[in-house]
Structure 1
Amino acid sequence: MGGDPPAPRQHRPAGRPPARPGVQHQGPPGALMPDAEQRRLALEKKRERYVWYYLAYFLFGIHIVAFVMIYAVTHAK
């Protein structure tokens, strides 16, 4: 069961890593977001709300159709 000992682990140096070329980094934590970013987030939240509304209306409509079909089947001659 002998063998060479495992290689020592390499640890990252303390602090933030240096910026890579071609990558835009955000400002320091807690910095205010630019106006465009706030507008984008607000629009995203609005669109997500609309998706939930459409889903609710769709599910409600499916139930109405199901109740009408149940009524038709139970009252058929």
Structure 2
Amino acid sequence: MPDTQNTAADSPESPDSPESREQRHLAQEKKNERYAWWYLAYFLFGIHIVAFVMIYAVTHAK
């Protein structure tokens, strides 16, 4: 029955359509960028904690 083949791959709603792939790619890129900002925030917070501990240690050393 070749005349009744499923043409879902050609429809825009198909999971493998270029529009769908682009949307998934953009969503994943946005998620990755958000995670990168969180990692940067945690890193900078950690650096400040270490700096404050070192300042405390130096100022209270005898």
- Tell me the TM-score normalized by structure 2: 0.69
> Which protein, 1 or 2, shows the higher relative CO under an 8 Å CA cutoff with sep ≥ 6?
2
> How many residue pairs align between the two structures?
45
**Residue in structure 2 matched with residue 12 of structure 1 by the alignment:** none
**Residue in structure 1 matched with residue 50 of structure 2 by the alignment:** 65
Question: Unaligned stretches of 5+ in structure 1?
Answer: 1-32
**Residue in structure 2 matched with residue 76 of structure 1 by the alignment:** 61
Q: State the one-letter code of the partner of 1:71.
A: Y
Structure with bigger gyration radius: 1
Q: Percent identity?
A: 80
Question: Unaligned stretches of 5+ in structure 2?
Answer: 1-17
For residue 69 of structure 1, report the CA deviation from its aligned partner: 0.2
Say whether residues 1:42 and 2:27 are aligned partners.
Answer: yes
Q: Please give the per-residue CA displacement for 1:17-73, whole angstroms capped at 9, x wherever unaligned.
A: xxxxxxxxxxxxxxxx71111000000000000110110011000000000000001
**Residue in structure 1 matched with residue 41 of structure 2 by the alignment:** 56
Runs of 4+ in 1 over 2 A off after TM superposition: none
**Residue in structure 1 matched with residue 14 of structure 2 by the alignment:** none
- Tell me the TM-score normalized by structure 1: 0.56
Alpha-carbon RMSD across the aligned residues, in angstroms, is 1.1
